Structure 1
Amino acid sequence: MTPHNALASDWVEWLRLEQTPGVGPETARQLLAAFGLPSQIFATDFTALSKVVSAKVAKALLQPDFRQLQQRIELTQTWCSQPGNQVLTWADANYPRALLDIPDPPVLIYVKGRLALLDAPTIAVVGSRNATAQGIRNAEQFSEALSKAGLTISSGMAAGIDAAAHHGALRGAGSTVAVIGTGADIVYPSRNRALAHLIADGGCIVSEYPLGMPAIASNFPRRNRLISGLSKGVLVIEAAGQSGSLITARMAAEQGRDVFAIPGSIHSPLAKGCHQLIKQGAKLVDTAQDILDELRFLPMMRPVAASSTQTTSASLAEITSADQRLLDAIGYDPVHVDHLVEQVGIDVAELSGVLLTLELDGHIEQLPGGMVKRIG
């Protein structure tokens, strides 16, 4: 049986090493430093192994569950036989160089799609799963502009900001890399199935988890180090005060990457995380060009500014003066509809109709609790 990989024999041995209970990246490094390649580790006797790792791990290395291991090998070989699917180990020349620079790169990764994107200049775009309409728009516009400039966009294929970032990035030459928290043969959340197919065709999907690994909450924060590790910097778009996106930003800073954040309303819970990052030294940005300038990245073509001013100018020409008066009263901070009734001087029924029209046209977003804010 030959895996669909240049390092066929090593591939199996590396998988065995990675699947050994108690062997993580740090233990693997210790074993490799002491004994050489995985095949040499497995040829070492118990006494020598137990000088480097615990007796329990040494025993597991020499006496694996061969039946379970063989099932894992066969499953992975079948997956690798499909076009575009590969397994990369530390010894593989195609293993992304950026990941080798982080403290704990995974022993092996499962890759589906365009392998070359893993060594392309990359910026991570992350944020809230429960993003606002403006946040979704920002993620798409920034990602599209950066991708058209030649940067690859990495994110986690979660709902909300991540999905929007991938969609925007696929419209540019830089494309996108999705680092997922499940096995590479599983799509999570299931609503992103169509997006996963688009990324597999035009971008790249990466996972450090074995095939068949379901969605486990603790795996998602851990994969964030790979999102930032592949990137020159991380852009955070909408994040609550306690957010997984802040974990990614912290890991990026620890890895020596730049951290960028888009500010929001002081009244918005989803701006708290971004404001916190800015206070801690993240670079405030309001256009994609800000990021390109900071990275000193020469774009393939000058990107369209990802700020909302252009779309706003075109949109405002299409609305009536009465609607414009209402938009001016709403502003970009959330305001309660009762305040609008008093300020604009129309009854609630008429106001509700106008607000619905403005929302459908993409000018405003209606929020919980009778609040509304302007977008675009």
Structure 2
Amino acid sequence: MSSEYEDLLLLLNIVRLSYDKQYVLYEEIGIRSIKELRESLYNLPFSRSIIEKLSKRIDKTDIDKYKDRLLQLNIHKVHYTDLDYPENLIHIQNPPPILYYKGILEKTFNKGVSVVGSRKCTDYGKYVCEKLVRELSYYKIPIISGLALGIDGIAHRAALDNDNKTLGVLGNGIDQIYPKSNRALYSKMESNGCIVSEFPLGSDPKPYNFPQRNRIISGIGTGVLVIEAQEKSGTLLTATAAGEQGREVFAVPGNIFSQGSSGTNKLIQDGAKLVMNVEDILNELPYEDSILQTQCKEEINEELSGNEKSIFQSLMISPKNCDELCFEKDMAISEVLEIITSLELKGLIGMIGDKYSILK
């Protein structure tokens, strides 16, 4: 992409020209530079008022100063024609022509799971979110969310706590932190994850920005997991966008008497995949078993003996009790108990309910 075309896309992003009109300019008309835009401005197929507003905004914009600001803040950008642009986003409706980002925008996010839910989640929602994100992290499946309060922040933190990659999609300019209480999380994700925004620098977190950014949360990965949501909420808008984009939609069931779970329960009624454990997610997504096993085992293989690896790998597939492990591995109960004790002491497994489950 030429520098003139890059500057044109940057200018159109700064002046907030709608995406459908942007595509008319460079896909239908073939405008490839700011100079060409200025020369053809009053011949564009837009209303007079839009052209006049666009002209005023262009005159007020200093592209060089804006690019200097990006450099000062260590903010990167990727264009929709670049090889580094998230592959899954190319195929959604109105993909953002430019994404600003901090951190490392890795291609592995295309295999990620988006985790969304209520800003005012319950202890149950927090527990479920941490558990499922921790288990997805065993398989090194990246976690995507919106860096908001509640489930979003819990999902990001759980991913980071389990040495997993996580990506946050903002509804404001990437130079602004919203909510302010997430400042520490924002800083940590700059260093150990990635933060993206389609909005130009200085954009405030306006209410109408969030439905727009939700299509990126749902579109950048392979599926969306909903944990606690009311029937009329931004979370359900994200789930709706996911369905329209052909992504898998997963929902955790909740209390039928709770408004906070009315949306997730309705999603399940409407056909979303009911999630009770991580296998319910893995079984529906296009992951190869060999890849999952490699991703989650590469860090622990050196720590475990042969039988410990065998038991640990079995529990990674699903929680089991002692009798089930004895039958599956054809081992004496004393031998299984000895291995389980060793894995517990290493902090790798624990008893949840009446079965042993992975903890790390």
TM-score (norm 1): 0.73
Farther-moved stretch of structure 1 (210-219 vs 182-191): 210-219
Q: Would the aligned equivalents of 1:42 and 1:62 in 2 still touch at CA under 8 Å?
A: no
- Offset from partner CA, 1:274-300 (integer Å, 9 cap, x none): 110001100001111211111142312
1:45 aligns with 2:45: no
2:238 matched to which residue of 1? Answer: 248
Question: Post-superposition shift, 1:144?
Answer: 2.1
1:188 aligns with 2:178: yes
Q: Structure 2 residue aligned with 1:14, among 6, 9, 13?
A: 9
Question: Post-superposition shift, 1:271?
Answer: 1.6
1:220 matched to which residue of 2? Answer: 210
2:71 matched to which residue of 1? Answer: 80
1:321 matched to which residue of 2? Answer: none
Question: Post-superposition shift, 1:258?
Answer: 0.6
- Offset from partner CA, 1:226-277 (integer Å, 9 cap, x none): 1001021100001112221101000000111110001112122222111100
CA separation in 1, counterparts of 2:2 and 2:73?
17
Question: Post-superposition shift, 1:54?
Answer: 2.6
Q: Would the aligned equivalents of 2:251 and 2:275 in 1 still touch at CA under 8 Å?
A: yes
- Superposition map of 1:281-296 within 5 A: 281-296=271-286
- Superposition map of 1:179-328 within 5 A: 179-298=169-288, 299=292, 300-301=295-296, 304=316, 310=350, 312-313=352-353
Question: Post-superposition shift, 1:217?
Answer: 1.5
Residue identity in the other structure for 2:184: A
1:26 matched to which residue of 2? Answer: 20
Unpaired segments of 5 or more residues in structure 1? Answer: 1-5, 315-376
Unpaired segments of 5 or more residues in structure 2? Answer: 297-312, 322-349, 355-360
User: How many residues are paired up?
Assistant: 303
Identity %: 35
SS in 1 for 2:61: helix
Farther-moved stretch of structure 1 (168-177 vs 296-305): 296-305
SS in 2 for 1:295: coil
Distance 1:41 1:148, change over 3 A: farther
Q: Structure 2 residue aligned with 1:69, among 61, 67, 73?
A: 61
CA separation in 2, counterparts of 1:130 and 1:76?
38
Farther-moved stretch of structure 1 (128-137 vs 142-151): 142-151
SS in 2 for 1:226: helix
CA separation in 2, counterparts of 1:117 and 1:140?
24
- Offset from partner CA, 1:56-104 (integer Å, 9 cap, x none): 34445556443x311x652443223444x21122233322121111111
Distance 1:219 1:73, change over 3 A: farther
1:135 aligns with 2:125: yes
Q: Structure 2 residue aligned with 1:54, among 37, 47, 60?
A: 47
Residue identity in the other structure for 1:33: E
Residue identity in the other structure for 1:292: L
Residue identity in the other structure for 1:121: K
Q: Would the aligned equivalents of 2:13 and 2:199 in 1 still touch at CA under 8 Å?
A: no
Q: Would the aligned equivalents of 2:168 and 2:196 in 1 still touch at CA under 8 Å?
A: yes
Question: Post-superposition shift, 1:121?
Answer: 0.8
- Offset from partner CA, 1:85-143 (integer Å, 9 cap, x none): 21122233322121111111122111111121575311100000000112112112211
CA separation in 2, counterparts of 1:154 and 1:13?
29
1:328 matched to which residue of 2? Answer: none
Q: Would the aligned equivalents of 1:118 and 1:230 in 2 still touch at CA under 8 Å?
A: no
Q: Would the aligned equivalents of 1:155 and 1:177 in 2 still touch at CA under 8 Å?
A: yes
Distance 1:179 1:88, change over 3 A: same
CA separation in 2, counterparts of 1:242 and 1:106?
26
Q: Would the aligned equivalents of 1:150 and 1:172 in 2 still touch at CA under 8 Å?
A: no
CA separation in 1, counterparts of 2:48 and 2:90?
29
Question: Post-superposition shift, 1:214?
Answer: 1.8
Distance 1:34 1:58, change over 3 A: farther
Distance 1:227 1:33, change over 3 A: same
CA separation in 1, counterparts of 2:123 and 2:240?
26
| RMSD of aligned residue pairs (Cα, Å) | 2.7
CA separation in 1, counterparts of 2:286 and 2:66?
44
Residue identity in the other structure for 2:249: V
Farther-moved stretch of structure 1 (288-297 vs 126-135): 288-297
